Chains A and B, each alone.
Chain A
């Protein structure tokens, strides 16, 4: 296979970069609470890493789509058991944490594993893309209503001996 100069591949995203914990009921009693498999799509074909995509239900296309600035309060028709409007992708169709290759979100919906209730999330691992800070805050608030609690990321710091 021909390689372009300096080609490299970054280690793919870990589940724990996003998911810090799930429902205790799920952990202790083995009942699936926090995650579900849903259909996901997009207006145009987009290759995405299946962990850390913020998603919102789009009733028109009957699929979860990437959240940018949609009005979450106006969402209806979500197929999730509690009707949750928003979720975060945490794996491909095989389950939470499966992230071998990118998935192509497009007009033909593909199954994705999403996290939507009773969990703890570090949003540093969520790729919000073009969403503004106001949009991100709206998404996080919607997730909090679904009892997905934010865990703040520890700050990074640059160190040097020769400033």
Chain B
């Protein structure tokens, strides 16, 4: 005879915590899990353009650096008794930009959590620590978003974003190169000019500029594209293998476009390498409010270049930090009988120190 180890089940097994029903203290309800929904955090440009080697920490509020543009000199024919022409010296320029200050502030009052339960629980009392952690998380996300927004502004307009503050917004292109940036038109429908060839020419222009600027990783660049530009270029790529044996790596006529996680949570960013131009096209479809890459626009730029975009930090100007080497972020908290206040401050300029390393293109 087989013995089955059967356990008696209670007639009603209660898995979840119970709480009094709304409006009737003698009835019980159980509660399901907390549903949380958070905002997405676009950070593609932050991942492509900023890092430790692109950061300067100053001890005051001015972003200062020198630039030397070296020229060439050719010898000329001369008599044996002559000496040849004079070789001119190359002079440096010094650039100075004011570093703006950004910040925000939050507070938690004891009455925010007194007599309240923690959301998602039935009977766990709310705490000041939970409110402060939520405040800090929101502020942290705000800093990340603001950096991305600043980089969008810098790439699309050549100007830093001062977020309504009293500081001046600089046009780094006109300030450093002079004039206004030329936009290279790309006509994907042209039968007279091969658009791929036009794109290759822009790639070569950037490669030359990267070598001029002493970028050691001179092959690492991407084209960050708006929706329409990306779609048109991808449509061309889809034609590459048609009517003959596929020679390129991917058959986008029948395959999903390749995508990777670049900078932003787990969202996969569409990108591919053009089989005839060797350029990596990255779709920038994200938006922070109204800040985004225009649908018809594209920007060819080096990745993690040390002298393209640099972030210069200034120290907080209080008794503790004035004239010290800047930190990327400052935070202060004060407490009193009824609550606490928390401030965060970051003083930085996203400076396009070499605007020639950006090529702006537009689909026409």
Contact = CB atoms under 8 A, between A and B. Distances in A.
Interface string B26-64: 010000000000011110000000000000000000000
Contact size range, A: 20 to 34
A37 to B, nearest CB: 15
Given A154-B142, A159-B288, A163-B285, A1 B23 contact: yes
Given A19-B109, A151-B105, A154-B142, A11 B39 contact: no
A54 to B, nearest CB: 20
B256 to A, nearest CB: 15
Interface in A1-46: 1, 9, 11, 14-16, 19-22, 27-28, 30
A159 B145 contact: yes
Contacts of A161: 40, 42, 264, 267, 285-286
A11 B119 contact: yes
B114 interface: yes
Contacts of B235: none
A94 B54 CA distance: 55
Interface string A134-163: 000000000000000001001001111111
A96 interface: yes
A108 B264 CA distance: 56
B21 interface: yes
A1 B21 contact: yes
A97 B109 CA distance: 8
Contacts of B110: 97
Interface string B104-133: 110111111011000100000000000000
Given A160-B286, A161-B42, A20 B111 contact: no
B109 A14 contact: yes
Contacts of B42: 159-161
Contacts of A9: 22
B104 A154 contact: yes
Contacts, number: 75
Contacts of B104: 154
Interface in B2-27: 21-24, 27
Given A1-B21, A98-B111, A27 B336 contact: yes
B338 A159 contact: no
Interface string B94-112: 0000000000110111111
Contact of B111 (A11, A27, A96): A96
A59 interface: no
B115 A15 contact: no
B285 A162 contact: yes
Contacts of B22: 1, 9
Contacts of A30: 337
A156 to B, nearest CB: 9
Contacts of B336: 27-28
B107 A20 contact: yes
6 closest Cβ pairs, A-B complex: A97-B111, A163-B287, A157-B289, A14-B112, A15-B111, A1-B23
9 contacts: A1-B23, A14-B112, A22-B338, A97-B109, A154-B142, A157-B288, A158-B289, A159-B41, A161-B286
